[in-house]
Structure 1
Amino acid sequence: METEAWEKLCRRCGRCCYEKVEFEGRVYYTDVPCEKLDLETRLCTVYDFRSSGRPGCVLLTPDLVRRGILPCDCPYVEGIQEYPAPLDWDEENP
């Protein structure tokens, strides 16, 4: 898929911009947003240069998406059979 078409899939929910923890092979969301996420608009404030503007931010690729880092209702994961969507840390680990 072309980069422009890939980028247009995003609904701008901001959920992928929350910190995640990988534990025992599962990905969990925390309630800690990236400091570059505008919580009102749900947009990244350094999106065009996020790789350098926010060290640790990774570009979404089809291979990375298949690892289970996005919510199950995200357009990027549509059609992935048995998608391992992240869990909320607080719900699974009280």
Structure 2
Amino acid sequence: MTDDEAPFWETTPLAQMSREQWESLCDGCGRCCLHKLREDETDEVLFTDVACRLLDTKTCLCTDYAHRQRRVQDCISLTPEMLANIDWLPPTCGYILVRDGEPLPWWHPLVSGTHETVHEAGISVSGRVISEREAGMLEDHVIDWPGEAPRHAFRRTRPPRRT
């Protein structure tokens, strides 16, 4: 890609992306792999700090991505068509940003060139969640941060490093 060419996520409609392009929109934050509850009276999504049993809580990678849907009954494989009706993806999600015509921030691996920046920017769940195998009652683990964007999350450029 030359400097004057726009990246594929700015020019290719979601429904026309190749599988590789679509998969690369995932920033690897792990927030979508956290268990969520839905409030009966308000229909509000309540986030928890409880991760799917297949999520490596340090790297934020699925330990069996190829077979996840066979092993986890309610695991969802996102499609462009589904994005219009999903209200539980975080505001920092690459799929949501591209869907809404927003730029990908500096920490997104497609922009930074490395998956480490999603952790560096405080977007990932790394070190902040527990596995469902250890959690107990989900109601005891309701938290806000997975549904929120950290301060400076949508910056286009990396903030200066503190020394």
2:100 maps to 1:80: yes
Structure 2 residue runs without a partner (length 5+)? 1-16, 102-141, 145-163
What residue number does 1:3 align with?
19
Q: TM-score, normalised by structure 1?
A: 0.76
- Looking at CA atoms only, which structure, 1 or 2, has the larger radius of gyration? 2
Say what the alpha-carbon RMSD is for the aligned residues.
1.8
Please list the CA deviations of residues 1-25 of structure 1 after superposition, one character each: whole Å capped at 9, or x if unmatched: 2222110111111111000112223
The separation in 2 between residues aligned to 1:49 and 1:14, in whole angstroms, is: 17
The separation in 2 between residues aligned to 1:50 and 1:19, in whole angstroms, is: 15
Q: Secondary structure at the match of 2:58?
A: coil
Q: TM-score, normalised by structure 2?
A: 0.47
The separation in 2 between residues aligned to 1:53 and 1:74, in whole angstroms, is: 24
Please list the CA deviations of residues 45-79 of structure 1 after superposition, one character each: whole Å capped at 9, or x if unmatched: 11111110211111112233332121101111014
Answer yes or no: is the 8 Å Cα contact 1:20–1:28 preserved in 2: yes
Q: Which amino acid aligns with 1:72?
A: P
What residue number does 2:90 align with?
71
The separation in 2 between residues aligned to 1:90 and 1:28, in whole angstroms, is: 7
Name the structure with the higher strand share. 1
Give the alignment partner of residue 21 of structure 1, picking from 34, 37, 62: 37
What residue number does 1:42 align with?
60
Instruction: Report the number of matched residues.
Output: 84
Q: Percent identity?
A: 39
What residue number does 1:54 align with?
72
Answer yes or no: is the 8 Å Cα contact 1:46–1:54 preserved in 2: no
